[in-house]
Each structure stands twice: as structure tokens, then as C-alpha cells.
Amino acid sequence: MWSPSSGRAAGGRVPALRVTRRGLCLLGAAGLAAVLGGCGWRLRGSSGGYSLGGRLIQVQDQAGRAGLRRAVRQAIEGSGGRYTEAPGEADWVLTLHGSQRSRETASVGADGEVLDYRLTYTLDYSLAEAGGERLVSRQSLEAERTFADPSGGADARRAREDELAAELRAEVVRLLMLRLQALD
């Protein structure tokens, strides 16, 4: 019999260690986190250790796309920068010259029916200091994805396209933030 004062079972033996499912799950989760952290994996949307260092950034939107401007603003703030609409306050002026999406046929079946489409999202931008000195001349960032032709016809294809376009816009904005962070 086990005695609490000695911590040993009768006869001098140490009691067997009880392993619970919860303990195994916690141990497995800790091991997985260590392995993933060691290989450089990170959650989508996290800054990955880079930061805009509190820079005050004004966004000039020549593209005229409210959704893009909102996504860029959120990304600036999420990457450690600050957004301003006042040109005199800004450290950097980010100009969004334009964005576009395009769709092309990626593959066709033996019967001539479209099997897959390729959707591309492109953003043209430039970056200058508040004094006007160019840090980045006009450049383009591009993201693309291939998707199967949905079985629901043109409406289903448009809905899938819109969904993917939003994902591609987020990817291009993420690439833009990485580019800005590399300058800091």
C-alpha cells in the first residue's frame, strides 16, 4: 500500500506514473509548437518578427479602390506602422497607382471544355519620403491562383473568382508590407 509520507508503495516500490490523455495532448502540443517554431513556420497574418518601427505612412490611393485602401491601412497598423491622412505628418508616402485582376484559361479538356482558370491580381505602387525623395520607384506586385471551373455555371464561377480575388488582394498587401518592412 502507498504511504503519503514516504511517497512509496508498501515494500519500498515507487508507484507507477499515471499518464493521462490530457497530459499527452499537452506534451504533444508543446512538441509540435517547438518543431514548427524552429522551422520558421508562423501564423498567417502575423508579422514574422519584422516591423515598420512606428513609421507614420500616408496612403495616396490613385487606384480608387476602398477595399484595397482599407486592407493596406489595416496591414500598416498590424505591422507596427501608423496610418495618417495628413501629408505633412507622414514619414513615408505610399502611392497605390492601380490594381487589376485578370482571368485566363489555364487548362482545357480533350473535348475543349475549360477545366481550370488562372486568376491574377496585380498592384502597382511607389514609395517616397515625405520630402519627395523616391525610396521605391513604381513597381508591381502580383499574386495568382489556379482554380477549377465550378459546376454551377457562370454565377458560381464569378462567386469563386470574387472569393479568390479577395484572397489574392490580401496576399499582395502582405507582400507589400514585407517590402516596406525590408526598407526600414
**Average per-residue pLDDT for the chain:** 83
pLDDT of residue 149: 84
Max Cα-Cα span within the chain: 85
| 42-83 per-position pLDDT tens digit | 555 554 556 788 899 999 988 788 889 999 999 999 999 999
Stated as kind and residue range, the H or E segment containing 142 is strand 134-148
158: which 3 cell numbers? Answer: 464569378
- Note if the pTM is more than 0.75: no
Q: How many domains does the chain have?
A: 1
Q: Confirm whether 12 is domain-assigned.
A: no
Query: What average pLDDT does range 135-155 have in this prediction?
Result: 91
Q: Confirm whether 161 is domain-assigned.
A: yes
Q: Confirm whether 113 is domain-assigned.
A: yes
Q: Confirm whether 38 is domain-assigned.
A: no
Q: Is the pLDDT of residue 30 over 90?
A: no
Residue 64 falls in which region: left (phi positive, over 0), alpha (psi -120 to 50) or beta: left
pLDDT of residue 131: 86
Percent of the chain with pLDDT over 90: 48
Contact 80, 52 (CB under 8 A): yes
42: which 3 cell numbers? Answer: 508562423
Please identify which residue in the block is written with the cell numbers 482545357: 108
Q: Is the pLDDT of residue 18 over 80?
A: no
161: which 3 cell numbers? Answer: 473568382
Q: Confirm whether 133 is domain-assigned.
A: yes
| 99-123 per-position pLDDT tens digit | 999 999 999 999 988 889 999 999 9
pLDDT of residue 87: 76
Q: Which domain holds residue 148?
A: 56-183
Q: Confirm whether 8 is domain-assigned.
A: no
Residue bearing the bigger pLDDT, 163 or 151: 163
CATH code for the domain of 67: 3.30.160.150
Please identify which residue in the block is written with the cell numbers 480533350: 110
Q: Confirm whether 104 is domain-assigned.
A: yes
Torsion of CA 147, 78, 46, 172, to 10 degrees: 30
pLDDT of residue 3: 55
Which phi and psi angles does 41 have, rounded to 5°?
Answer: -70, 145
DSSP 15: P
Q: Confirm whether 33 is domain-assigned.
A: no
Closest-CA residue to 101 (of 168, 34, 39)? 168
Residue bearing the bigger pLDDT, 127 or 29: 127
Percent of the chain with pLDDT over 70: 75
Own/partner contacts of 127-135, CB < 8 Å, gap of 24 or more, are 127/92, 127/93, 127/94, 127/95, 127/180, 127/183, 128/92, 128/93, 128/95, 129/91, 129/92, 129/93, 130/87, 130/88, 130/90, 130/91, 130/92, 130/93, 135/92, 135/183
Q: Is the pLDDT of residue 6 over 70?
A: no
Classify strands 92-108 and 82-84 as parallel, antiparallel or unpaired.
unpaired
